[in-house]
Structures are given as C-alpha cells and as structure tokens.
Amino acid sequence: MKNQVKIKKIIEPFKSQITVASDKSLSIRSILLSSIAVGRSRIFNLLESEDVKNSLEVIKKIGVNFVIKKKFIEVYGVGINGFKIKKNTILDAGNSGTLARCILGLCSGSNNKIKLVGDKSLSNRDFSRVIKPLRLFGVNVFSKKGRLPVELFGSNLIRPIQYIENKGSAQIKTCIILSAINTPGVTKIKALRSRNHTELMLKSLNYPIKVKKTKKYDLIHVQGLNQFKAFDYKIPGDISSASFFIVLTLLSNNSEITIKNININPSRIGIITILNRMNAQIKIINKKNYKGEQIGDIKVKSKVKFQSINCETSLNSSAIDEFLLIFLVACKSNGISTFKNLEELNKKESPRLNLALKFMKMIGIKVTKNKNDIKIFGNPKIILKKNYHIKNFFKDHRIFMMSVVAALTFGGKGWTIEDSDSINTSFPNFLKILRKLGAKIK
C-alpha cells in the first residue's frame, strides 16, 4: 500500500460528537516526571503514538521500568538522580523535539556519557537553545553546530543558575526546570510566556516550584533535589489534534461538532481566540479543573463568512502548532490577514512558515512575506479546479493533516497527499475519525 491518500470530494455535511488523540505534551511530561518520582505511578489515557513510545523506550534505557496494562501504564520511578545509566548509552528521540530537549535536562546529573540521536528531521533542529543553559548549570554537553547528535556528561559541580528564556519555548523552559530539579539550591528562570504544563504538573505533585506572572514573562523559582511521591494522572484530549476538526467544521457546509474532554489550558487555546476574532463561533462548555489543567468540551458550527485579522504577536506562542490551520481560514476570509514574528514556525519539524507559503501559493492564494511576517490576501469565493499533489513537505505530520482538511473543504479536481504515515508521531487515528464523519479518503 502506498504511503499516500487520495481525495476527490469535499466532505458532506455532518453533525457529530468525537474524542481525539490524548495530549502529547502531557503524555511525554507525565512519563518523564513519573520516572523521577518515588514509587509506582499510573498514567491513564496515554497517547499511543511514536513520540510517546520513544519516550517510554528512552526511560527504559536509563533504568526505569514500566508495565503496559489494559487501562493505564505503570511507571516505577527511581527518584531524583536515581537513573542507572550505563556507559555510552544512546538515546533515540525519534521525531520528538519535546522528548529530545527535555531528556537532556532530566539526565543532567548523569555521571556516564549519554549520546542523544533522532531522525533526519529532528537532527536538523536547533539544540544550541538548550545546550547553552545546560552548560551554565555546569553540565558537560557537546554538539557540532548545535545539532544532533548531542553528547552529555554530567558534572559533580552542577550548580543553580539564573536564566532568561526569551524565545517563548516551553521545551527550553522545561529542560531548564528538569535540570534544576537535579541541582542543589534554587534556580531562577525569567521565561517569556509559553505553555505551562510542566509547572502545573509539578505544583499538583507539591513540588517546591513558584511562579509569579508579569505582563510578558513568568518568573519561576525551582528548588532542587526535593524527592516527590509517585502519582496517578489521566491525560485529556489534545487541543492541537482537536484543531483539525475545529477548522474542518468551520470550513464545511452546514456542519456541527462537539469535541469531548479537551485540554483548554489558556497557554494552548490561541487558535480559538484567533478564529473567534475572525467571526467563528467556537464555544467551550462543561469546563472543569484537573490537577491545575483546565478541561472542557469544544462546540463548533460551520461558518459562511470570515473576517481577516491583524493577529497580535502576544497570541503566537499559544497557537504556534495551529497556525497552518489558521492560515487556511485566512485564505477564505474577507480582507488581508497579517501575522508577525513567526520565526519559531521555521524551527519546528519542518520550516513550516516557508512551506505554508508554498502551499497557499499552490492553491492560488496571494501571500507576501517580509522576514518573519506574512500577509494573506483572503478570497472567500475561491474555487479550486486543478489536481493537487502534496509532496516534499519534510514528512511533517501537521502539514499532512492540514492538507487533508484543505482537500475536504476547498475542493478541487483531486488531491494526492504523500506521507500518510507521518501522523503516527502524534495522531494515529486521524484518518479513521475523518472516515467516520463521512470523508471519502482512499
């Protein structure tokens, strides 16, 4: 079977209630934190994807046992600095930037050399952004040009640091927090606001971490070397996975959907804020709090007219993984939409900003780029009549899924979309859910 899908028709109107893949950020963090807890943790509803499987294999290689049961996974934590790392251990993070950057912080206290590797895509991503703070801790880290492979060898002189994280990267911030946990004393971080799952999870475990919010930054103090007990954690649905169905519904005819039990952490729902400002009608109902995280159901109805937006840069970090979908709505909006300071998009699994421009131009949308700012000239009456072949997009799972949504809503003579196996990194049952909604996908 070829690693591609073919779509010839837009999706018929639908009304449905669905659940989507479990939150990948929380799945990986719960694995990593349970590995340094003391005792047996149970993780329910863990995402079944390649990134999460790689996370489990990584903790196994550093001496942490786990058992996969029918309804949950048991992780037998070894406590802080309790890893049994053999000499010259090689850890493979696959495609996961979250796992790769966070595991370096988690293993910063190792006395044996660790070599971190990843797939071709991950090996092209920037690791200097975590190497720099790790070296300030006193950790020995080596890399050629800030790329994988990265070799790490801990230090007996590891020390707390003060660090300003000004990229708005939750991966950098979490790497520093995990390294701080291994370090005596108090580490102080001034971090440009980004998703805060690590801080919330640690607070729910009564770990001594303090967070003070200012207008743009979070001031975080982490007390090192405080052992904490094992825990139970139930993973909610992923807003990034839900977003494909939010936009599918918005751009479809006479359709409605309710997406159940989604993590609606304020640092993650920028897409809802942005789309509602573009005249969407997205509602969050049945809200509840679970261990610091906000959970809710998302209700969406299709919409005929969308308004362009001059998107505030303060929303960038809370929508960074969803901009491809926001761009699709901008393509069908009335007016010119402007998005600025999107350099982080080109530091993802692929140069997403550049590829998004390539995609939009391919379907006949006028778009201009000035450094890391773009303008999308919306066309509400756009009608596609050609055949489209989506290939050479770096096997990026989000570009594949965005292309499927476009094919099912924008029409065209026919679409062939390559690299269907890319969804295994984050959302393996994406196509299955679409087919249940009535999508004709071969």
Q: State pLDDT tens for residues 354-401.
A: 999 999 999 999 999 999 999 999 999 998 999 999 998 988 999 999
Confirm if 339 and 311 have CB atoms less than 8 A apart: yes
Q: How confident is the model at residue 286 (pLDDT cuts 50, 70, 90)?
A: very high
Instruction: Judge whether 275 lies within some domain.
Output: yes
Query: What strands lie across the sheet with 387-390, from one edge to the other?
Result: 4-7, 414-418, 387-390
Q: Which residues contact 192 (CB under 8 A, 6 or more apart)?
A: 165, 166, 167, 168, 216, 217, 317
Q: How confident is the model at residue 296 (pLDDT cuts 50, 70, 90)?
A: very high
Instruction: Judge whether 442 lies within some domain.
Output: no
The mean pLDDT value of the chain amounts to 96
Instruction: Judge whether 223 lies within some domain.
Output: yes
Instruction: Give pLDDT tens digits for 423-433.
Output: 999 999 999 99
- Statement to judge: residues 302 and 329 lie in one domain: yes
- Statement to judge: residues 88 and 212 lie in one domain: yes
Instruction: Judge whether 270 lies within some domain.
Output: yes
- Statement to judge: residues 17 and 65 lie in one domain: no
Instruction: Judge whether 388 lies within some domain.
Output: yes
CATH number of residue 138's parent domain? 3.65.10.10
- Statement to judge: residues 119 and 72 lie in one domain: yes
- Statement to judge: residues 105 and 39 lie in one domain: yes
Instruction: Give pLDDT tens digits for 304-338.
Output: 899 999 999 999 999 999 999 999 999 999 999 99
User: What gap in Å lies between CA 90 and CA 92, rounded to an integer?
Assistant: 7
Could you tell me the residue range of the domain that residue 188 belongs to? 24-234
Point out the domain boundary residue: 234, 269, 287.
Answer: 234
Average pLDDT of the segment spanning 217-238: 98
Point out the domain boundary residue: 206, 234, 262.
Answer: 234
Identify the active-site residue in 92, 321, 396, 419. Answer: 321
Structure tokens given for 256: 């409605």
Instruction: Judge whether 382 lies within some domain.
Output: yes
Structure tokens given for 406: 């476009």
- Statement to judge: residues 174 and 57 lie in one domain: yes
Q: What is the pLDDT of residue 394?
A: 84
Task: Decide if 321 is catalytic.
Answer: yes
Percent of the chain with pLDDT over 70: 100
- Statement to judge: residues 144 and 225 lie in one domain: yes
- Statement to judge: residues 402 and 294 lie in one domain: yes
Instruction: Give pLDDT tens digits for 135-144.
Output: 999 999 999 9
Question: Count of domains in the chain?
Answer: 2
Q: Which residues contact 90 (CB under 8 A, 6 or more apart)?
A: 61, 114, 115, 116, 117
Instruction: Judge whether 441 lies within some domain.
Output: no
- Statement to judge: residues 361 and 264 lie in one domain: yes
Q: Which residue intervals of 111-264 are DSSP H helices?
A: 120-123, 128-137, 170-181, 197-204, 239-251
- Statement to judge: residues 223 and 252 lie in one domain: no
- Statement to judge: residues 207 and 325 lie in one domain: no
Report the predicted TM-score, pTM, of the whole model to 2 decimal places.
Answer: 0.96
- Statement to judge: residues 314 and 408 lie in one domain: yes
Point out the domain boundary residue: 234, 254, 273.
Answer: 234
Instruction: Give pLDDT tens digits for 117-166.
Output: 999 999 999 999 999 999 999 999 999 999 999 999 878 789 999 999 99
Q: How confident is the model at residue 111 (pLDDT cuts 50, 70, 90)?
A: confident
Stretch (H or E) spanning 101 = helix 97-106
